[in-house]
């Protein structure tokens, strides 16, 4: 699947995540690529909602990763402070690439060489004027 969607509000961005969750298989690795403020965490919240997760989903920035439980586990990872796959392994997150169970959603995957390329789904977010976002989804 390859498609581009326009999101005008945070609610629309979250709904895109809900719909995307229905297309993700167990063990999927999802890369969310986009600048600061483009809606990565909001999209992750929508994916969580689509996975029937009732916990409040927040950015994992300071912890690097958070796991939530619903119809399957969601491993929400922030790779901003990680610079390589080796460092990913050093901090114990390599088990999520791809995950044995659940779905891994990685924010800032482009900071780690090769991570986007091994992803099952890549979502590229582009922030336009007036808060409008282009959301390009590529799912293999």
* Domain range annotation of the chain: 2-139
Q: Which numeric CATH code is attached to 2-139?
A: 3.40.50.300
pTM equals 0.93
Average pLDDT, the chain: 93
Residue 7's nearest CA partner among 42, 33, 35 is: 42
Residue 18 banded pLDDT, cuts 50, 70, 90? very high
Residue 20's nearest CA partner among 139, 140, 126, 102 is: 139
CA dist 98 and 131 (Å) reads 32
Position 45 scores a pLDDT of 97
3-class state of residue 13 by DSSP? helix
- pLDDT by residue (tens digit) across 89-129? 898 888 888 888 899 999 999 998 889 999 999 999 999 98
Residue 24 banded pLDDT, cuts 50, 70, 90? very high
């Amino acid at each position: 699947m390859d498609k581009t969607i326009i999101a005008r509000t945070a609610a629309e961005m979250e709904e895109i995540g809900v719909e995307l969750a229905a297309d993700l298989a167990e063990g999927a690795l999802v890369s969310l690529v986009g600048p600061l403020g483009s809606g990565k965490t909001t999209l992750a919240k929508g994916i969580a909602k689509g996975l029937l997760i009732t916990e409040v989903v927040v950015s994992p920035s300071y912890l690097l990763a958070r796991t939530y439980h619903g119809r399957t586990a969601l491993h929400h990872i922030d790779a901003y402070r990680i610079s390589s796959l080796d460092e990913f392994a050093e901090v114990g997150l390599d088990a999520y690439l791809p995950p044995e169970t659940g779905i891994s959603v990685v924010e800032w995957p482009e900071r780690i060489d090769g991570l986007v390329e091994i992803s099952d789904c890549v979502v590229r977010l582009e922030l336009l004027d007036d808060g409008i976002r282009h959301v390009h989804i590529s799912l293999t």
